Amino acid sequence: MRASRLKQGFPDWQEDDPLSGMANLFDLAMVFAVALMVALVVRFEMVDLLTKDDVTIVKNPGTEEMEIIIKKGEKIEKYKATETAGEGRGRRVGIAYQLENGQIIYVPEKPGNESGRSN
């Protein structure tokens, strides 16, 4: 009598389907994947990239593996340091001074004044 009561609670198709538990495994895998993504974002301190604010992140500053990540609105740009950065043809456009408190001030030169001295 007890076995007949248990069978009354389940539809016939559910008793015969060996894959009925697979839906639960898929749901579990999706929850695990989302939790893993959130953990990676928090671990690598990339939470700022999920906000609406503009953000600039410098990874490995001063090394050959330095990367600059710039987020403006919805657009994210990534720049890598290369050996050729700063090389090539160009012209001097100004002078930068570092004050005692660490602040850097850029002074642009007047066009045609390549020596850096004012007349």
Residue 41: HSE in the Cβ half-sphere, 13 Å Cα cutoff: 11
DSSP string, 39-100: HHHHHTT-GGGGSSS-EEEEESTTSTT-EEEEEETTEEEEEE--TTTT-SS----EEEEE-T
Q: Structural domain boundaries of the chain?
A: 1-44
> What pLDDT is stored for residue 88 in this prediction?
63
Task: Name the band, by pLDDT with cuts 50, 70 and 90, for residue 116.
Answer: very low
pLDDT > 70? residue 119: no
pLDDT single digits (tens) 42-96: 887 777 777 778 888 888 877 778 888 888 888 888 888 766 655 667 777 788 8
Task: Name the band, by pLDDT with cuts 50, 70 and 90, for residue 30.
Answer: very high
pTM for this prediction: 0.38
